[in-house]
Structure 1
Amino acid sequence: MVVLKHISVAAVTAAALLLTTASPAGATAIGDVQQAMAKVAATPGAVGVIGGAYLDGRPAGRGSAGSRLLNGEGGLIPAEARFRIGSQTKTMAATTLLKLVEEGRIGLADKLAAVLPEVAVDGLVERAEEITVRQLIQHTSGVPDWYSRAGSTEPAFDVFDFTTHHRPLDIVKMTRGLPRTGAPGEKFTYSNTGYTLIGMIVEKVTGRSLARELDRRLFQPLGMSQTYLAAKPPEGIKGPHGHGYYPDSTGAPRDVDRFNASWGYGAGGVISTTRDISAFYRAFYQGRLLPSALQEVLTGGPQGLARQGSGQCGDDLRIFGGTAPGYSAVTLTSTDGRRQLAVAATRSTADDGEVITAMIKAAEAVLCPA
């Protein structure tokens, strides 16, 4: 996908969770980005990696290592190239929905069945009359995840089907009959389906496509001119970029550059650059996108999209991330919005744990130099 999973808490499993780390408050030192990217590229399973650090919106270092294609071919990936940000899309989709809450066009306590009655028909989404908008945002709805089946980390869809268009409602229908993960509001259980539903809600409330709403409410105002939501297959990444690979039935890595964009949608469809995604997190944490109470809906809750952690750097950095067949991406941002480091890697392995671990270590080395 365009990543629909989040990076795992242990960074060594495919569990869909968010990681965090930290850094000393007010720190402005930036380490060697190129050196850090070279270490990631040397990790088994990594094909190519790019990174960009930013301080107060200005470039503070770039790096590119590995190669654009498998087996060292194709030269370096341009450091300013676009990449799939995967589940970092969720923060953008939720921010867009919360802007509608701010405008009074929908409420956090509104029920899914009332907002999207089509998903309540014949019990398509069980207990839709109880599930709230807030629960969808905070992954406490109990709606089963369409990305993978219970007990499995492998995608539930055909990774190599690059052409079939899947409507969001069709993707939701994939979960019919799957067991719920809990009662509405009971516990945090990561669900891509919840964010497919969030994309549908944005479209229902505004009468415009999710791609258009993201563009008009976030990308254009923030100057994210290289960012867009890929929506129709077989839509690849525009411009020079790295190619991701995924093992086929024989175990041989197969190019998934033409990943089926219709899977991503509100759960993981955005394509961006290190500059643009850093601009988003800078604006988010500087309070330029949402009032504090609505921002807390995302960053707080049982297990928000941004969690405070502890580590070698202190306590003011957050890591957002996502991973999908062939692709991984993480972005670190300080909670004052001053510092960001975005890293994107292409892979040749199904297991993303080792590459993700290397990306996080590299990020810490850059934003927390000795």
Structure 2
Amino acid sequence: MRAELEAIHRAGVPGVWAEVRENGEVWRGAAGEAAPDMRHRVGSVTKTFTAAAVLQLVERGKIGLDMPVHGEATVRELLNMTSGLADYRFLAFPSVLEGSPRSLEDNRFRHFYPRELIELGTSAPAVPPGTYSNTGYLLLGRLIEKVTGMTAERWITRHVVERAGLRNTMFPTGTRIEGPHPRMLEALFGLLDPPRDYSVYDMSWVGVAASLISTVEDLNLFFAALLDGRVVSPESLAEMQKTGPVVAFDGSTVDYGLGLHRHGDFWGHDGSVWGAGTWSFHSADGERQVSLAINLQRWQDKAIDEALAAFQRKALRV
């Protein structure tokens, strides 16, 4: 495993770290400018936490999975990406479509309010159901707030993060990550050369869709608790594991449920925000878990893709 991490580093990722658990045994490793216990931004892995919070409210009878939230879009459709709502990314960061990284820098310290981003997504032309979008998860965050009377971040922290016993998982309260963390380097497919460090960034642009901070250890603990029925009920977990095809931002098709991916016989989620990437997948029986973090995003080197794929195969034993 250590050799596979070193190969990812040699291929061009400045820092890479991981934790693998198998039958109660734990292995942690790192290569480059990284350490296994570092905190990092986990991107869309946040969606699994948000989805779990929503399912808890379903269990309490506060909301229904087939209840309309926006127009005819239901809670279930927002969770599984079949609502047809467009993503707001390129509307919030318009220069990216023009081939310029300017708006990434312009928005570094800009605070977005969820209603601004939701308005961008819901006002845009509809997309085919099964198209990946952050907009629906921001709507779910607003629903949590309406039903509970507290911020979605606080509700998720109290009822999901704390229930799972996580000590290094939190929503950001400012632009910085507290505690040991790496640089987070964004290449934007070569538009930023050399890649720029965005470890200091206002993450309000993704909110409860993708702003969570965690560690590879905490992610393994969380998914172990989730898949063991200790975060949501077995019935809710079964709903989360009803999947269909969803086209991701990179054009690939993933088998997506209610905030969960299926990857062969494994369940989990991956995530990406400016400069930070995460990959976390777990066997349904809890016998094998893998969480990986890297501090470079949107590279153009196929050697990195190949090295990451080799690590995943080795870690999952597939």
| Class of the TM-score when normalised by the shorter of the 2 chains | 0.7 to 0.9
Please identify which structure carries the higher strand content. 2
CA contact (8 A) 2:262 2:268 kept: no
Q: Deviations over 1:300-333 (max 9, x none)?
A: 13232444454xxxxx323521122211110121
- Report 1 or 2 for greater relative contact order, CA contacts < 8 Å, sequence distance ≥ 6: 1
| 2:177 maps to 1:237 | yes
CA–CA separation in structure 2 for the residues paired with 1:167 and 1:350: 30
Trace 1:1-370 onto structure 2 (pairs within 5 A): 32=1, 34-44=2-12, 46-56=13-23, 58=24, 60-67=26-33, 77-112=34-69, 128-148=70-90, 158-160=103-105, 161-175=107-121, 177-182=123-128, 187-230=129-172, 232-234=173-175, 236-247=176-187, 251-303=193-245, 304-305=256-257, 306-310=260-264, 316-347=265-296, 349-351=298-300, 355=304, 357-368=306-317
CA contact (8 A) 1:51 1:64 kept: yes
| Residue-pair matches, total | 300
Q: Deviations over 1:13-45 (max 9, x none)?
A: xxxxxxxxxxxxxxxxxxx3x22211111223x
CA–CA separation in structure 2 for the residues paired with 1:213 and 1:64: 33
What is the RMSD computed on CA atoms of the aligned residues?
A: 2.7
CA drift of 1:156 comes to 9.7
Q: Identity of aligned pairs, percent?
A: 27
CA–CA separation in structure 2 for the residues paired with 1:176 and 1:366: 39
Q: Deviations over 1:255-289 (max 9, x none)?
A: 11112211121110111111111011101111222
CA drift of 1:106 comes to 0.6
Name the aligned partner's letter for residue 39 of structure 1.
Answer: A
CA contact (8 A) 2:164 2:230 kept: no
Please identify which structure carries the higher helix content. 2
CA drift of 1:195 comes to 0.8
CA drift of 1:203 comes to 1.4
1:177–1:197 CA distance, 2 compared to 1 (3 A): closer
Range with greater deviation from structure 2 (131-140 or 259-268): 259-268
CA–CA separation in structure 1 for the residues paired with 2:68 and 2:274: 33
SS class of match (2:293): strand
CA contact (8 A) 1:148 1:156 kept: no
Gaps of 5+ in 2: 246-255
1:49–1:138 CA distance, 2 compared to 1 (3 A): same
Name the aligned partner's letter for residue 237 of structure 2.
Answer: Q
Name the aligned partner's letter for residue 238 of structure 1.
Answer: E
CA drift of 1:294 comes to 2.0
Gaps of 5+ in 1: 1-31, 68-76, 113-127, 311-315
CA drift of 1:353 comes to 7.1
Name the aligned partner's letter for residue 339 of structure 1.
Answer: R
SS class of match (2:244): coil
TM-score, L = length of structure 2: 0.85
Name the aligned partner's letter for residue 61 of structure 2.
Answer: G
SS class of match (2:270): strand
Name the aligned partner's letter for residue 54 of structure 1.
Answer: R
CA drift of 1:48 comes to 0.4
1:154–1:198 CA distance, 2 compared to 1 (3 A): farther
CA–CA separation in structure 2 for the residues paired with 1:210 and 1:353: 38
